[in-house]
Amino acid sequence: MSNNHIKMVVFDWAGTTVDYGSSAPMDVFKMVFDEMGIELSRDEINGPMGMEKKAHIKALLSLDNAAVQWKEHYGRMWTEADVEEIYEKFEDKLFDVVADYSKPIDGVVETVNELKKNGIKIGSTTGYNKRMMTKVIPAAKENGYEPDCIVTPDITGLGRPTPFMLNECMRVLNVYPPKTVVKVGDTITDIHEGKNAGAWSIGLLVGSNLLGVSKDEYEKMSEEELAKLKEVTTKKYMDAGADMVIDNITELPQAIEKINEMM
């Protein structure tokens, strides 16, 4: 395959290939912060989604709303020790439940199989650490999804939005140059990861964290409500630098064909 065609797709996990809406980290973050006496909205929690989880916690604690509540509740500003405590609580709770959230999203298995049939390698990056993925990987595999490469932030030392996890997928699967790689994700941080690596970045709407609705909420929304929500979400992706936005993951092979034509 020449350097004028896509050779690899690098997927995110929660919200992109498994766990519709990235519900597992969202639910556990909400639970842990509630226990700490800090009330955050879904939009606030979702803002940094896609980052390495300790960095995500720092981003949440740095919100004005969280900082004010912390000062009122504890009489001081938060510290690195507090970040560690919250992270340990988060990791323990998520580890207990994450397998239950790791079923592939509709269309993922079929799409990945089609890509593989076309000779495209499948990489993956995530905000979860290696320990967490010991629960996620078998659950996804049991239901038919198995990428060729899985890179976590503790492998590279730095997570998104840096390009290093994606770079590691390129190294492991021997794929280069970056213009032959597509990053597909459901958060702004995913888009930044792809662009920082010099790859193409595609944002996903259905099932995404950025769209911000559960599967049940999605199915109950009117066509007009969905169209408006998707328009707003698409703009967020494009403002972040996305090269394309697709409605459903099953549209990815056609999107890749368009990129190949552009190249």
Residue 155 CA to chain centroid, in angstroms?
A: 17
Q: Which of 53, 58, 121, 183 is catalytic?
A: 53
Q: Which of 12, 186, 190, 243 is catalytic?
A: 12
Q: Report the 10 Å Cβ neighbour count for 172.
A: 15
Q: What is the DSSP string of 125-155?
A: E-SS-HHHHHHHHHHHHHTT---SEEE-HHH
- Residue that has been written with the tokens 């323990």 in this structure: 92
Cα end-to-end distance, the chain, whole Å: 13
Contact status, residue 128 vs residue 14, Cβ threshold 8 Å: yes
CA distance readout (Å), 234 to 5, 15, 255: 25, 16, 15
Known catalytic residue at 190: no
Known catalytic residue at 12: yes
Active site residues: 12, 53
